[in-house]
Amino acid sequence: EMLDLKIAQLDSGAKNIPKTKLMTLGSGATNAYAKFVDLFKPVPGDQSVKDHSKPQGITEPATRRWYLTARFGLARCLARTPAAEEDLISRKMPLAASLGEYKAIVDLMADPLHAFPKNGPNFDQELKICQEMVELLPAKMERLHTLDTGRSGVS
């Protein structure tokens, strides 16, 4: 949220925030979210795990919500953090990683095993955003070279 706030302040002209500060904020948030998400990866070589591509330990709805919220935050940070370089590849790489996170969330939520109970914690609003981003990010990446970005370097 701090990253979004700083980018909005910069783009509106309310503050002159150095790009390096935005990059530091984004990098720190991205690393923190990624470390949390990594806690749910299966231990390499664990023979009791059937599918090593699926997160482990998210059977409880509250824990699953924490996990999905972290992945959602990671996807947002990847898309919003300014690239160090202004070249097209440097700007597309984090967007592609963000798209991968959004797709992973949508795919996970499509599995009935990970559905939320009707009367407990849910992820409905965030899932709608993820589905929209899965549709929108590829187009953004394709036309990135013609986008007029704000002063922060992100659109």
User: Could you give the CA distance from residue 60 to residue 57 in angstroms, rounded to a whole number?
Assistant: 8
Helix (H, G, I), strand (E, B) or coil at 102: helix
Question: What residue type is assigned to position 5 of the chain?
Answer: L
Q: Please report the sign of the dihedral spanned by the C-alpha atoms of residue 124, residue 73, residue 105, residue 119.
A: negative
pLDDT of residue 13: 65
CB 18 within 8 A of CB 151: no
Rg (CA), the chain: 17
pLDDT of residue 151: 47
Estimate the crossing angle of helix 88-110 against helix 124-142, to 10 degrees: 150
pTM of the full predicted structure? 0.82
pLDDT of residue 92: 86
pLDDT tier, 137 (very low <50, low <70, confident <90, very high otherwise):
very high
pLDDT of residue 114: 84
| CA distances, 82 to each of 21, 22, 67, 90 (Å) | 10, 7, 25, 9
Helix (H, G, I), strand (E, B) or coil at 47: coil
User: Could you give the CA distance from residue 33 to residue 46 in angstroms, rounded to a whole number?
Assistant: 24
| CA distances, 50 to each of 42, 43, 83, 103 (Å) | 10, 12, 37, 21
pLDDT tier, 2 (very low <50, low <70, confident <90, very high otherwise):
low
